[in-house]
Amino acid sequence: MAPKQLGALSNDITLGVYIFILTFQGLCAFINGYILFLFATRKDLRKNKHMRLVIFLSLGDFLLAVGELPYIIYMTLNWHHTQMDYNPLYIMVTAQPLPLQLKVSATITVGIALSRNIALFFPSIYRRMDMGDYSNGVILAAVLLALFDDFLYWYTTTIEHHLNCGTIGCFVSDEFRYYWGISNMILGFIAVFLSITIFWKLQMVSKGKDVVSAQQGSKRYAKANRTSTGILMSSLLFLTVPSVCVGVVELTGFSIFKLIGPFYSACLLVSGCCNGIIFIASNWDNVRPKKKKSSFLVQKVSTIHSQAHSGGAQWQ
């Protein structure tokens, strides 16, 4: 295929990715916005320290879905079949939520996997841990790593035009792109290793070769465990594996970003939607809307009840 035809095909694929991302931005913002609303209004959810990493992840997914709207909308409106030429400074500014949330999400995934390993292999240590402090430590590390990425994002990049490339991956420097891919790949390998140990341990437990009933005393813990494991699997499928693949491909010198566009954004949004759905499904008994009794009916019933009593008193 001629380079010109390949470029046109790549642009068509990129437009499809834009539309896909816009769709999932709406879904991700709605799902994670609902979860944030639940945590803001439900005291029992806020007090569950085992869920704190989940709420941090949900907050990041919500901010990504909303924060990337100017970036994706601009590229979609200015897309062209044969030649795309975007304003590099605008792209750099509006695409900042992507590297920030990607590192935050990858770090929290490792944090969730590590906490599950401690719970399964060292239950006595896990019971003594303050999950609130642990979660705060994980999110602090995630924010610091994300800020470091943002520093390199600007420090290593020269603002310049790149034709026929509709994603931030083409506008950043080669140094940052290699660092970005390799650092996320390393976090991905750590998450994969920790996840393998989790699934191995769970398989051992299911076969009756080990007993961890001591750590399963609380229903709230069991729900947090189920939610964390589901979110871990989702992150592995839609975030860790793509990050590892991109890291390996970038080492060969081929840019996957130029071929299919904002690849990372699509993966993060799909992961954010799946994480939100897993949380809601795992905790449906607690998060489903509660039916409120009508105060008018209650008042009417109480009035009838009092009248009946007063009427009975008159007949006595």
Q: What is the pLDDT averaged over residues 226-240?
A: 76
On the question of pLDDT at 179 being above 50, the answer is: yes
CA distance linking residue 223 with residue 50, whole number of Å: 9
Q: How would residue 148 be classed by pLDDT, with cut points 50, 70 and 90? A: very high
Residue 42 has φ and ψ, to the nearest 5°, of -110, 110
Higher-scoring residue by pLDDT: 167, 315 = 167
- pTM value is 0.79
Name the burial class of residue 83, with classes exposed (0-12), middle (13-18) and buried (19+) by CB atoms within 10 angstroms of its CB: exposed
Nearby residues of 21 by Cβ (< 8 Å), 6 or more positions away: 68, 72, 262, 265, 266, 269
Residue 30 tokens read as 């709605």
Higher-scoring residue by pLDDT: 250, 126 = 126
Nearby residues of 80 by Cβ (< 8 Å), 6 or more positions away: 11
Rounded CA Rg of the chain: 25
Q: How would residue 273 be classed by pLDDT, with cut points 50, 70 and 90? A: very high
Whether residue 15 contacts residue 76, with contact meaning beta carbons closer than 8 Å, is answered with: yes
Amino acid 239: pLDDT: 76
Higher-scoring residue by pLDDT: 45, 214 = 45
The mean pLDDT value of the chain amounts to: 79
Nearby residues of 265 by Cβ (< 8 Å), 6 or more positions away: 21, 68, 72, 98, 167
Q: How would residue 216 be classed by pLDDT, with cut points 50, 70 and 90? A: very low
Higher-scoring residue by pLDDT: 282, 71 = 71
CA distance linking residue 145 with residue 273, whole number of Å: 24
Can you tell me whether residue 157 is helix, strand or coil? coil
Residue with tokens 């610091």: 144
Higher-scoring residue by pLDDT: 60, 239 = 60
On the question of pLDDT at 122 being above 50, the answer is: yes
Q: Which of 17, 15, 16 is nearest to 265 (CA)?
A: 17
Amino acid 109: pLDDT: 85
Residue with tokens 């599950």: 116
Q: What is the pLDDT averaged over residues 298-305?
A: 51
pLDDT digits (tens, 9 = 90+) for 243-268: 777 667 666 666 666 666 687 888 88
On the question of pLDDT at 214 being above 50, the answer is: no
Amino acid 287: pLDDT: 66
Q: What is the pLDDT averaged over residues 157-180?
A: 87
Nearby residues of 254 by Cβ (< 8 Å), 6 or more positions away: none
Nearby residues of 279 by Cβ (< 8 Å), 6 or more positions away: 35, 54, 58, 227, 230, 231, 287
Question: Class assignment of domain 3-292?
Answer: mainly alpha
Q: Which of 65, 73, 154, 69 is nearest to 105 (CA)?
A: 65
Q: Which residues of 63-77 are buried (b: 16+ CB within 10 A; e: fewer)?
A: bbbebbbebbebbbe
Amino acid 153: pLDDT: 94
On the question of pLDDT at 93 being above 80, the answer is: yes
Q: What is the pLDDT averaged over residues 144-171?
A: 90
